[in-house]
Structure 1
Amino acid sequence: MLVASVAGGAVLGGVLTLLPWERAAPRAPAPAPGARAHAAVAAGVPASLPDLATLIGEREARLRARPKDAVSWAVLGSAYVERGRRTADARYYPRAERALRMSLKVRARGNAQALGGLAALANARRDFRAARGWAEAARTAEPGRWTTYPLLIDAYRGLGDHEAARASLDRLRELRSGPAVMVWAAAVYRDQGWREDAAAQLADAVAGARTPAERAAYLERAGQLAWERGDREDALGHFRRALRIDPDQRAAQAGQGRALAALGRTTEALNAYRAALAGQPSPQYALELGELYESLGLGRAARAQYDLLRARVRGAAAGGADEELVLGRFEADHGDPAAAVRRLRAQWARQPGVEVADALGWALHRAGDDEEALRFAGIATDATKGGGVRSAPYAYHRGMIERELTRYGPARRHLQEALRINPYFSPVHARTVREALTELGEPSVAEVPDFTGPPCRSARCA
């Protein structure tokens, strides 16, 4: 009766009273910021910028006292890489390289952590050949280290070796499961054109993310995938959720700018882009904002963004990072197409990925060489050559090249495909697609293939 009375009183009073043997186990204290960032960096997943700053400060202090600590040098170098990537500040990359090479100097043999850090650094700098070399060395040093395989996937994708990327994903899945693995699976599936599978993997990754920074990063990727398929509202929802969780998620802020511009909410779009550039002055964001200004007839504002783009490319080069792809795209549409061709041919020689094939094909078209342009546009859009990703800009580029070559049937198909994939893919070029389709008109009888063939005299025709 006494127990019943106590229980009843607890319910009526709104307080649950536990008996001594029923007391809940104390919760473990939340990890400190530096520990959170260390766990994220070690696992190759996103960390928040404040946590990264704490981790960097802690490791720098530790290394002043213990300069022979190879692990701390590797952790510090990897944290610098992530900081540089998140802030688009290439000044962190030389610091990262010095720290990672110091780790190898202190302990050369079997130091897969430092080798992996150098692979991550090379990927961040868009030096995919070097990234492949460092990641393969890390795999040799420690074949069962699962965090090496995302680095290999990133490098192989940049080099256009999609079979090797898929093989690395298969090995990664043998070693590990969980949200980070799902994100890399989504990247490989996207490249193969399996958008629904990629979206499912990202949704599961968001649900299983362990930290706010990780969840925000995965929401940004899900938003980008929604944007690529032209779902403006869904993309905007993902980007907004990412920013609510992590206000430093600038990629989501730039994504918000894209989606808002496509929805006709121009003032909000401009504000989103400006905020993204303030926190992460990426040349790609400057190009997008410049083109948005241009579509609004604001030429002076557009030119200011293009000047920022050039300055950021120079700054990236000073830190060993390669932003020639963005600069080549800019030159093709807004500057010197011949210079774009020169830059992008050099890119193709270094890293023959699908992105570079598309950009080089478009630059060749803008420079007047449409026959060679079509070859590269074909690489970017032909699944048998690695171009399985469903991309509105790639389809647009190929269609416009075919139109110039008077291949009107394929041109019409690819321009229509661009609008089917994402009718809002560019504030400037989506309008050009519609104008080109209007000019091409409906297919003529001459464009329809003759499927009748010669008369059949075989008994099988009867």
Structure 2
Amino acid sequence: METGVKTASEAGTENGTGDPRGAGGGPGRRRARWVTGGLLALLVGALVVAGLLWLPRPQPRPAPPPRLAPAQRALTAVTAGVPAALPDLVELIGAQETRLKTRPRDARAWAVLGAAYVERGRRTADAAHYPTAERALRTSLKVRPRGNAQALEGMAALANARRDFRAARTWGEAALKADRKRWTTHALLIEAYTGLGDYEAARGTLDRLQALHSGPAVMARSAAVYWDRGWREDAAATLSDAAAAAEAPAERAAWLERAGHLAWERGDREVALRHFTEAVRLDPDQRAAQAGQGRVLAALGRTSEALSAYRLALAAQPSPQYALELGELYESLGLEQAAHAQFDLLRAQVRSATAGGVDEDLVLGRFEADHGDPGEALRRLRAEWRRQPGIAVADALGWALHRAGEHEEALRYAVRATDKEQGGGVRSALYAYHRGMIEHTLDRSGPARRHLAEALRINPYFSPLWAPVARGVLEELGEPPEVDVPAA
């Protein structure tokens, strides 16, 4: 009997589901679909998370190194044998003196204090700091008499600063006996050997230094040795690398100043001025660079700026060498009174330096030979030659002999200063000028012409006084005579 009402089974068959519970399915089937959907969602989520994990993520920036306090910066520089900023040195000295009030038996603190005073004296040209440095270093050696390489090295640095290269060699070699691997001592010994004219020892010590250590300070010391050997391009490139690698502004400024000096010695005024200017920007207390600016600006004809640069340098670092250069610049300008004022200042500076144990006979001998008493110059420079017969002393002694009328003997020393076979590998316009003028006096026209031309070729601006003299004598000598070639 048909009632018109379909059963659930029939409805399901008609809907095509084959399920008597209808198109929506029962609770069991709906649960299965939810589980399947959930698993799919979890899988997709996992894939999304995995993809995010594979995406490159920004790397955290490394934390900058902690900034050192001024005293710590100076301590790092002093113990590494590199230039330190002057304000930092003042902080370090104060910190060490405070420490020693409560720890008077601290040998290391005494050694650091002594080294800091040496560096301060060198940076300011104030020799009054050197006796204080010596007392501190000797106290360190008294507190710790054995194996105190740091204090022995400090004594070597002090002797170099005083231009007592024989004592520097003794102290440096004693420091090496205490610690053979102390690379900073090797750098000091190179300076001492060079001052004594022992270039073979200087080169051997450089080899050992380079085997022990690398870095800007070693590069700078290497450049000095290369320059003394006449390797000008190697020296300039190595100093450029040293300046680029230095991190502390005071250290970088020091290497830039040396690079500027080498550029000046080559007659490259623009490069020299760029180096000197950058050095002063990095370290306003870099007075050697300020004096260098004066030297170059005078050669560029910027006289007012040159005078200002020299005065600034001398006001803060009363160096006899700067006073001599400024006096000669005044003299070249016809300002005799101003020149004599600088020469009087030079004598006063030498007296002050001598009171602090500094040997200034080299610069004083040069001054006396050209502007004072050649006999006094000769006496001083003969004694200096007996103490430390380096190339600079050979040149100055030869010139003093010439000015005193001893031309034949003068030539022997001039040859020593300019002959590679005798150690004089450095190419110096001043040395070549001196040799050429001595040869001119001895009527040796060919060699005189050659060496005066060499001086002007090395650096046409080497002196506001003597470069014009070299040009005048060359014009007087004229061209070399033509020589007939014998017939074959």
Shorter-chain TM-score above 0.5: yes
* Equivalence map 1:286-435=2 (5 Å): 286-435=323-472
- Note the alpha carbon deviations across 1:143-194, whole angstroms, 9 max, x for none: 0111100100000010011111010100000000111110011000000010
One-letter amino acid of the counterpart of residue 168, structure 1: T
SS of structure 2 residue aligned to 1:387: coil
* Equivalence map 1:2-21=2 (5 Å): none
Cα deviation for residue 196 of structure 1 reads: 0.2
CA–CA separation in structure 2 for the residues paired with 1:180 and 1:189: 14
Partner of 2:165: 128
CA–CA separation in structure 2 for the residues paired with 1:380 and 1:89: 30
Q: Which segments of 5 or more consecutive residues in structure 1 lack a partner in the other structure? A: 1-17, 456-462
* Equivalence map 1:60-459=2 (5 Å): 60-445=97-482, 448=483
SS of structure 1 residue aligned to 2:146: coil
One-letter amino acid of the counterpart of residue 332, structure 1: A
CA–CA separation in structure 2 for the residues paired with 1:452 and 1:58: 80
- The TM-score normalised by the length of structure 1 is 0.92
- Note the alpha carbon deviations across 1:321-370, whole angstroms, 9 max, x for none: 01111100000000000110000000000000000000000000001000
CA–CA separation in structure 1 for the residues paired with 2:416 and 2:154: 31
CA–CA separation in structure 2 for the residues paired with 1:317 and 1:159: 20
One-letter amino acid of the counterpart of residue 31, structure 1: L
CA–CA separation in structure 2 for the residues paired with 1:52 and 1:235: 28
CA–CA separation in structure 1 for the residues paired with 2:162 and 2:190: 15
Aligned residues: 433
CA–CA separation in structure 2 for the residues paired with 1:451 and 1:183: 50
CA–CA separation in structure 2 for the residues paired with 1:28 and 1:398: 54
SS of structure 1 residue aligned to 2:358: coil
Does residue 1:31 correspond to 2:68, yes or no? yes
CA–CA separation in structure 1 for the residues paired with 2:59 and 2:229: 54
Does the C-alpha gap of structure 1 residues 438 and 24 become closer, same or farther in structure 2, counting only changes over 3 Å?
A: closer
CA–CA separation in structure 1 for the residues paired with 2:73 and 2:314: 27
- Note the alpha carbon deviations across 1:414-454, whole angstroms, 9 max, x for none: 00000000000000000000110011111124xx5x8869x
Identical-residue share of aligned pairs (%): 72
Does the C-alpha gap of structure 1 residues 173 and 294 become closer, same or farther in structure 2, counting only changes over 3 Å?
A: same
Cα deviation for residue 27 of structure 1 reads: 2.8
CA–CA separation in structure 1 for the residues paired with 2:457 and 2:463: 14
Cα deviation for residue 28 of structure 1 reads: 3.2
One-letter amino acid of the counterpart of residue 346, structure 2: L
SS of structure 2 residue aligned to 1:105: helix
Does residue 1:52 correspond to 2:89, yes or no? yes
One-letter amino acid of the counterpart of residue 308, structure 1: L
Cα deviation for residue 24 of structure 1 reads: 3.5
Q: Which runs of 4+ in 1 moved over 4 A?
A: 450-453
Partner of 1:9: none
RMSD: 1.4
Cα deviation for residue 25 of structure 1 reads: 4.4
CA–CA separation in structure 1 for the residues paired with 2:192 and 2:124: 21
One-letter amino acid of the counterpart of residue 413, structure 2: F
CA–CA separation in structure 1 for the residues paired with 2:360 and 2:321: 9
